[in-house]
Amino acid sequence: MTAMMPEIHYQELKCCRLCPRGCGVNRFEGNRGYCRSMAGLRIGAVCLHKGEEPVLAGNHGMCNVFFEHCNLQCSYCQNYQISRNHQEQADVLTDLDEVLGRIAACLHAGAACVGFVSPSHMIPHMTHIIHILRERGLHAVTVMNTNAYDHPGKIRQLAEDIDVYLPDLKYHDAALGKKFSGADDYPAVAQAALKEMYRQKGAELRMGPDGIAHNGLIIRHLVLPGYVDNTLACLRFIARELSPKVHVSVMAQYTPIGAVAADENLGRTITAAEYERVLEELDRLGMDCGWIQSLSSAYHYQPDFTRSEPF
Ligand code: SF4
């Protein structure tokens, strides 16, 4: 059976305001907006990934679907090989059946979750894939791994499709959003998106008998070197505006890429003293649900999307 791309799912791309960039371009006619993505499917990789959260990876890893390009363009992006909007991968996946086949292979290999990575500019494609998987009886836990630069209204529309939200809350400081991601409205947008995710899921992470999280919200945060105050403010937002019992995944894995190697702060990894301040704040806020990484993580999580197995 060949999977088709039904037109109805993609009407929004004719005047694209899928994400807060609000470009208003017709992606069917080749008018490129900020993400420089057209209407067609373009996926950088589908692969098993042990990931950062054991409740999603389980023993076999989760199936991650990495979309090409991104609506945020963080200067330090660890996935820069596929996320940069000014470049297009030669070996990108464009055939829906091939993508579905690779996802099915990961599920048959034991993955329980299918995670969609950086889907904010490709939401119709993500939901379409989810609907076909369900039609074919391939029931996986669906995970939206987003940079959180999403319209809350779009998140509201995903209530039936996404089992686990996995947003990465990046900035509380608007100046950092502008400096590193060209989005000074990032804190306001992301906080509204997270409030909608929390409205849908609450703080409880509902676990299946297989030890996999089947429904809920996990908020990631990547600690940036030199900007610990931003991290502390993000944690306080979660504890005070959502709940201290929300599951958080605090990542110490930041590693500089070439584009920021000369930056005074982003050109290094985080220090033990910086991380200690983060751990103390988690403790002070009573945030004891979730995961923290060891400082040595900086050397363990670097993907290489030029390989068939990036991780
Ligand atoms: S998805 Fe892309 S084209 Fe559409 S509004 Fe966002 S950045 Fe612009």
| Cα(40) to centroid(ligand 1), Å | 13
For residue 310, is it within any domain?
no
- Strand partners of residue 104: none
Name the residue among 287, 136, 115 with its Cα closest to residue 213: 115
Q: Is the CB of 70 under 6 A from ligand 1?
A: no
Q: Where are the beta strands (DSSP E) in 181-246?
A: 206-207, 213-222
Tokens of 220: 């990631």
**Which of residues 294 and 195 earns the better pLDDT score?**
195
Q: Is the CB of 37 under 6 A from ligand 1?
A: yes
d(CA 238, CA 195): 9
For residue 206, is it within any domain?
yes
Residue 9: predicted pLDDT: 67
Per-residue pLDDT averaged across 84-94, rounded?
A: 85
Residue 8: predicted pLDDT: 54
For residue 18, is it within any domain?
no
Query: 224: which DSSP letter?
Result: P
∠ CA 267-86-81, nearest 5°, is 55
Give DSSP secondary structure letters for 139-186.
--EEEEE--S---HHHHHHTTTT-SEE--B---S-HHHHHHHHS-TTH
- The domain that holds 254 is classified in CATH as 3.20.20.70
Per-residue pLDDT band for 90 (boundaries 50, 70, 90) equals: confident
Q: Is the CB of 65 under 6 A from ligand 1?
A: no
With a pLDDT cut of 90, the percent of the chain lying above it is 83
Per-residue pLDDT band for 307 (boundaries 50, 70, 90) equals: low
Residue to mutate, 26, 35, 70, ligand 1, most ligand atoms under 8 Å from C-beta = 35
For residue 22, is it within any domain?
no
| Cα(200) to centroid(ligand 1), Å | 25
**pLDDT digits 0-9 by tens, 240-257:** 999 999 999 999 999 999
For residue 258, is it within any domain?
yes
For residue 266, is it within any domain?
yes
Residue 2 has pLDDT above 60, yes or no: no
For residue 26, is it within any domain?
no
Q: Is the CB of 73 under 6 A from ligand 1?
A: no
CB 172 within 8 A of CB 230: yes
Per-residue pLDDT band for 65 (boundaries 50, 70, 90) equals: very high
Determine the structural domain holding residue 290 and report its residue range. 38-299
Residue 264: predicted pLDDT: 93
Per-residue pLDDT averaged across 168-194, rounded?
A: 98
The total number of structural domains in the chain stands at 1
- Strand partners of residue 206: 215
| Cα(262) to centroid(ligand 1), Å | 30
Per-residue pLDDT averaged across 208-222, rounded?
A: 97
| Cα(271) to centroid(ligand 1), Å | 36
For residue 231, is it within any domain?
yes
- Non-local CB neighbours of 160 within 8 Å, separated by 6+ positions: none
**pLDDT digits 0-9 by tens, 4-50:** 555 556 889 999 999 999 999 999 998 789 999 999 999 999 999 88
What's the chain's Rg over C-alpha atoms? 18
With a pLDDT cut of 70, the percent of the chain lying above it is 92
CB 14 within 8 A of CB 27: yes
**pLDDT digits 0-9 by tens, 129-164:** 999 999 999 989 999 999 999 999 999 999 999 999
Per-residue pLDDT band for 52 (boundaries 50, 70, 90) equals: confident
Query: 189: which DSSP letter?
Result: H
Residue 117: predicted pLDDT: 97
| Cα(82) to centroid(ligand 1), Å | 17
